Structure 1
Amino acid sequence: MTSTASTDQNTLPRLPVPTLAETARKYLKTVAPLLNNDEFNETKKIVEQFRQESEPLQELLLKRAQTEENWLSQWWLNKTYLEWRLNLPIYYNPAIVLPRQSYRDFDGQIQFAANFVHGVLRYRSLLDGNQIPIDRFGTDPLCMDQYNKVLGICRIPAKSIDRLHLYNKNGHRHVAIFYRNN
């Protein structure tokens, strides 16, 4: 039997909290090519001082990891998406690049658009019916939670941090089509 999107969701391991030593090592490896020797040595001193003083912060992360399904995901969502103020279509929205099409007439464009919407709705039906095969890294199952948030979700602007509204999949069945910016 093929595993589907929610089959193994509850059996996935939690995202581990990296150790302070691991985080410091990765940080130094990342910045090393960007710094000269003096700057890198100064950065190493600052990182070591941070490591010595930050054990209480590490403990807070470990506690959060025990109470949250994923200790990082809400912070990631907030900082990289909901608080960010760049243009959404260019920087954040999922996009599809389709092969160039040649249409004989306007009816060809309409037919292509109708087929595209039909394909999206078929995919939505597979999602709703839990028929999407689970993604894997080798043999290990990956979290499929994001698939349920691709369709039927709306970002609602707010002053300091936007919010997301996920519509009930049974109550809302609309497609918005924009034509000539209308």
Structure 2
Amino acid sequence: MSASIVIDNDISRLTGLMFTAPDQFFDQTKKFAATLTPDDLSLLRSRLHANLPVPENVDKAQLGLTGWLSASQYTIFEVIYHMGIPAVPMLKEIAFGEYDWIQANALDLLTRFYMDGKLPVEIIDEIDSNLGDMRYESHLYYAQHLIALRRKDQRYEAQVIQRIKNQDLHDAIKEIMDVK
């Protein structure tokens, strides 16, 4: 069986856990990531826009138009997060490259690495300096990530949100908070 088929099956299985056994998702994702090497990062990246199979035990009616793709992407990024620092160059390519709706996911992981003490504060400054070249959709999605992270850990307010000076991001945060 080829490596891509194995990865596809594992990502599908893990993504299915979000719907069928959410309490197992993070532990199983971390265990799976431990079986991979940095050489697997390019394969994982290639699967970010793939049409991965939906497991039989997942109710397809729950998924909506892009639900499975979004859930699969979330799973892949969570696996990449657990692979750690070797993923940073690839994450920067996604985060600071041409617009893609997964851009904010890459920004999220870079931010989490910083907050975990795995990257220096300069990564937040690099994110800030690149935000001006990003579409507003990326600002909105990244703002959503930051708001969710801040709910879990108030340090995100002072160490990330206040450090970033990009007004578009702050407008996006305000817009989201005003709606809620």
Please give the TM-score of this superposition, normalised by the length of structure 2: 0.25
> Which structure ranks higher in relative contact order (CA pairs < 8 Å, sequence separation ≥ 6)?
1
Bigger fraction of residues in strand: 1
Greater C-alpha Rg: 1
Please give the TM-score of this superposition, normalised by the length of structure 1: 0.25
Bigger fraction of residues in helix: 2
